Amino acid sequence: MVNLTDMENSRGETANDVSCFCLHDNDIFLFPFEKEELYSEEYLRWMNDLEITKTLGRLDYLMPVNRAKLISYFNSINRENTIFLAIYLKKNVPIGDINKLEMKFIGTLKIYDLDLLAKRASIGIAIGEKLEWGKGYAAKAIGIATKYIFDNLGFRKITAGYIADNIGMENAFLKNGFEVEAIFKEHLFYEGRFVDHKYVFKFRK
């Protein structure tokens, strides 16, 4: 069961903006991605690991990335149509006990292209902590975000895209009921060759 939890600000008041909530389901928590994550050693390390960045399909992330570039990207995010979240892992969390200091920062999830008229959004996700690959955490995070988009935002459709060779990512979306909508043939350059870009979708039931 996905829970939406209001987080209190430093004065003990509950704020109304996106920075004051977390989404969680058992051991996976989604918090707003903030400066704490931006300046973390984990994030910088992930974005300089080709095994992670090669699936992003961006040339600029195939070269060394410094902190200034990450800061520039963070500042360029359009908060009007994007919700940028940090994925945290914590097992056996007592109800009401939500403390990032006791959790492990393992990746990022972005809800973007929020279209209020068409009531649709897209999801992008990266599990940066390679020790946590293959444990189903991407699927869990996608499921949490999907439920939030449908139940809390009231949207009707979610889309996502990934390199067709990324079987782990495909399984994470298919496990959450997404279906293939389109395949752009030889659309991206990946590991020395042109590969397909696969797009998936899910409608609210």
**C-alpha angle 108-180-174 in degrees, rounded to nearest 5:** 55
Has this prediction a pTM greater than 0.85?
yes
* 85 to 12, 37, 108, 170: CA distances (angstroms): 23, 10, 6, 20
- From first to last of the 205 residues of the chain, give the pLDDT tens digit: 444 443 333 223 333 344 457 898 888 999 999 999 999 999 999 999 999 988 877 777 778 899 999 999 999 999 999 999 999 998 765 656 677 878 999 999 999 999 999 999 999 999 999 999 999 999 999 999 999 999 999 999 999 999 999 999 999 999 999 999 999 999 988 888 999 999 999 999 8
Which candidate, 175, 156, 119, 188, places its Cα nearest to that of 198? Answer: 188
Q: What does the domain layout of the chain look like in residue ranges?
A: 3-156
The yes or no reply on domain 3-156 and CATH 3.40.50.300 is no
